[in-house]
Amino acid sequence: AIRMTQSPSSFSASTGDRVTITCRASQGISSYLAWYQQKPGKAPKLLIYAASTLQSGVPSRFSGSGSGTDFTLTISCLQSEDFATYYCQQYYSYPPAFGGGTKVEIK
C-alpha cells in the first residue's frame, strides 16, 4: 500500500502569511493527489484534485503543485478562516490513502 507523509504535522502562522504544506508519497502517484481542509467537528472539504486543479468555489489563494512523489499545498495569503487541518490523499491505487494531516494554528 502507498503511504502518504505530510510535513510539518503542525505549525503556527499569522494572518497574511504565505504558507506551504508538503506531502510525500512512498511511491510515484503521477498527479493523482487531492487536498482537503477540515475544521474541528466538521467534515473535510475538497480543495484541490489532480494535484493542482482547484475545486469549484475554493478561493484562488489556495494552490497545489507537484507530481510523482512530492507535492505541495500553498496558501498565498492566510486568512482567519484558513486555520484548520489539511490532509493530502492519493488516489492512484487501492487503497486510497490519506496523509497524517497538518494543523495550521494561529500564532
**Which residues contribute to the site for other proteins (CB under 8 A)?**
32, 34, 36, 38, 42-46, 49, 55, 87, 89, 91, 94-101
Closest CB to other proteins among 21 and 97?
Answer: 97
| Closest by CA position to 102, among listed 17, 15, 38 | 38
Closest CB to other proteins among 17 and 45?
Answer: 45
Q: How far is the CB of 67 from other proteins (least distance, A)?
A: 16
Q: How far is the CB of 55 from other proteins (least distance, A)?
A: 7
Q: How far is the CB of 15 from other proteins (least distance, A)?
A: 26
DSSP letters, 31-90, are T-EEEEEE-TTS--EEEEETTTEEPTT--TTEEEEEETTEEEEEESS--GGG-SEEEEEE
